[in-house]
């Protein structure tokens, strides 16, 4: 338990720290004045704190508290009413709670605050935990939004650059984590990986063998874009149980570190039984933690395409039959609306494979459209458009 005076000092300190950060408008817009609790979830350090603060900068009508501050280690459920008292005293009407999942039973307070009409904005780095706890205690009372590291468009806004191949080359190397773009700290990605694995996974899931968790994460980031089976991973990395591999992979997806894409099939059993393709939340982040992945430009480009798709679509598959394959199928409701092939450079050697893969996927799934995304080629071949990534990522 903390005194109201201690809380006020911490709030003032955190506000001063955030006010010094460089701000860039994000494409994600969250509602102001909603009667629902607003949840913003996303990977650690992607800019969630800045996003919720931005909404109230002009009006200066919010109290902000980040629960990862070490001074809040003794904060408990009984301290929440003190925040409301401070809101009244300071004349604020919005309460912003950053990484609130650290506090036990926080959702009990969230329900009470919502019932009283308190405008509540919450961030968290664990998608499953937030939705599970809110789903059981606050059904119908919240709206959840996902924030990702900077898109190419946001990267351009942040640095004041133009949309062109040269600026995309910069984005391709630095990725979208705001702090890394601004500071280029040498071990930023390694430190961030350890923070995610330790603080968001190992501590919360009571995992003692952190080294095994780290080995698995680095292995997966080194194999972005490849088809991987849990059994194969278990054997290669000498896990005692395939179940442990599955659980660890689930934990990493919940923390927004990695995403796993299933094979397209009308059969749920086939989707589960077949290998998944793995992608990282940020390709430069994966590159920074893997020597082998950094050399494969095509797979890095594929990861950039996946994350852009993931910003706008929940249901993404890959396609493969005995003769051909296609990198991505986008599903909207019950329809496959888009088939996408990613190829660094289409040449005479790979032309037939790339075009045939996308045409087969279109024919079999009924996709409305198909495109090939390249590094810097623009063309139309056999009715299929080739689009440079630096153009497609914004258009």
Question: What confidence score (pLDDT) does residue 230 get?
Answer: 97
CA angle 169, 171, 175 (to 5 degrees): 140
What do you get for the CA distance between the two ends of the chain, in Å? 51
| Cα 270 to Cα 259, 263, 340, 343, distances in angstroms | 19, 8, 22, 27
User: Which option is the CATH number for 186-295: 3.40.50.670, 1.10.10.10, 3.90.245.10, 1.10.1660.10?
Assistant: 1.10.10.10
Say how far apart CA 276 and CA 33 lie, in whole Å.
41
Strand-pair partners of 317: 262, 329
Sole residue written with tokens 């119908």 = 140
Phi and psi of 246, rounded to 5°? -60, -45
Measure Cα distances from 2 to 70, 83, 94 in Å. 13, 11, 21
Q: What φ, ψ does residue 363 adopt, rounded to 5°? A: -60, -40
* Cα atoms in the 13 Å half-sphere on the side-chain side of 109: 22
Contact status, residue 216 vs residue 209, Cβ threshold 8 Å: no
Residue 130 pLDDT more than 60? no
Report the phi/psi class of residue 160: left, alpha or beta, with left for phi > 0 and alpha for psi in -120 to 50: left
Confidence at 131, pLDDT banded by 50, 70, 90? low
Domain borders along the chain are: 4-146, 151-181, 186-295, 297-395
Asked which of 114-123, 157-166, 291-300 is least confident by mean pLDDT, the reply is: 291-300
Distance between CA atoms of residues 376 and 306, nearest Å: 17
User: Does residue 81 surpass a pLDDT of 70?
Assistant: yes
pLDDT at 129 (0 to 100): 55
Identify the CATH class of 4-146: alpha beta
Give residue-wise pLDDT tens across range 329-371. Answer: 999 999 999 999 999 999 999 999 999 999 999 999 999 999 9
Nearest to 101 by CA among 74, 79, 78, 131: 131
* pLDDT tens profile 197-211: 999 999 989 999 999
Output the DSSP codes for 130-165. Answer: HHHHHHHH-TTSEEEEE--SPPHHHHHHHHT--SSH
Q: Are the beta carbons of 64 and 11 closer than 8 angstroms?
A: yes
CA distances from 228 to 108, 225, 362 (A): 40, 9, 24
Give bridge partners of residue 228 from the DSSP assignment.
276
Average pLDDT, the chain: 92
pLDDT interval class at 37 (50, 70, 90): very high
Of residues 84, 101, 83, 87, the one with CA closest to residue 137 = 101
pLDDT in tens, 219-276: 999 999 999 999 999 999 999 999 999 999 999 999 999 999 999 998 889 999 999 9
Long-range contacts of 234-242 (CB under 8 A, 24+ apart): 237/212, 239/212
Query: Pairing between strand 370-374 and 384-388?
Result: parallel
Which residue reads 């080995």 in tokens? 215
Strand partners, 121: 38, 96
Which overall architecture, per CATH, does domain 297-395 show? Answer: 3-Layer(aba) Sandwich (3.40)
Question: Is 304 in contact with 350 (CB distance < 8 Å)?
Answer: no
* Matching fold, domains 4-146 and 297-395: no
Question: What's residue 183's pLDDT?
Answer: 87
Closest CA to 51 of 96, 114, 1, 108: 96
For residue 122, the surrounding DSSP H or E stretch is strand 119-124
Residue 132 confidence (pLDDT) above 90 = no
Q: pLDDT above 90 covers what percent of the chain? A: 79
């Amino acid at each position: 338990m903390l005194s109201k005076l201690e809380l006020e000092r911490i709030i003032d300190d955190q506000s001063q720290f955030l006010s010094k950060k460089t701000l860039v408008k994000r494409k994600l817009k969250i509602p102001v004045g909603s009667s629902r609790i607003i949840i913003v979830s996303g990977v650690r350090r992607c800019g969630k704190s800045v996003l919720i603060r931005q909404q109230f900068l002009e009006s200066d009508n919010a109290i902000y508290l980040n629960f990862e501050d070490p001074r809040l280690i003794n904060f408990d459920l009984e301290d929440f009413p003190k925040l409301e008292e401070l809101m009244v005293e300071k004349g604020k009407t919005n309460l912003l709670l950053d990484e609130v999942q650290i506090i036990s039973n926080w959702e009990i307070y969230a329900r009470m605050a919502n019932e009283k009409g308190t405008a509540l904005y919450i961030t968290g780095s664990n998608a499953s935990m937030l939705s599970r706890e809110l789903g059981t205690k606050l059904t119908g009372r919240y709206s959840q939004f996902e924030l990702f590291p900077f898109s190419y468009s946001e990267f351009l806004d942040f640095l004041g650059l133009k949309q062109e191949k040269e600026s995309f080359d910069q984005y391709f190397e630095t990725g979208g984590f705001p702090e890394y773009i601004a500071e280029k700290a040498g071990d930023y990605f390694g430190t961030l990986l350890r923070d995610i694995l330790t603080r968001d996974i190992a501590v919360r899931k009571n995992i003692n063998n952190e080294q095994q968790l780290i080995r698995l994460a680095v292995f997966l980031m080194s194999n972005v874009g490849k088809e991987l089976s849990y059994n194969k991973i278990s054997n290669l990395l000498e896990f005692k149980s395939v179940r442990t591999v599955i659980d660890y992979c689930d934990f990493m997806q919940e923390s927004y570190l990695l995403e796993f894409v299933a094979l397209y099939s009308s059969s749920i059993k086939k989707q589960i039984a077949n290998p998944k393709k793995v992608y990282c939340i940020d390709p430069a982040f994966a590159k920074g933690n893997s020597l082998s992945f950094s050399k494969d430009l095509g797979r890095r480009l594929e990861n950039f395409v996946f994350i852009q798709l993931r910003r706008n679509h929940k249901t993404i598959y890959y396609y493969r039959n005995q003769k051909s394959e296609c990198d991505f199928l986008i599903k909207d409701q019950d329809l496959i609306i888009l088939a996408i092939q990613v190829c660094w450079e289409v040449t005479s050697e790979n032309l037939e494979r790339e075009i045939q893969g996308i045409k087969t996927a279109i024919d079999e799934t009924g996709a409305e459209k198909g495109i090939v995304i390249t590094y810097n080629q623009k063309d139309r071949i056999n009715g299929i458009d080739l689009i440079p990534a630096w153009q497609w990522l914004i258009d």
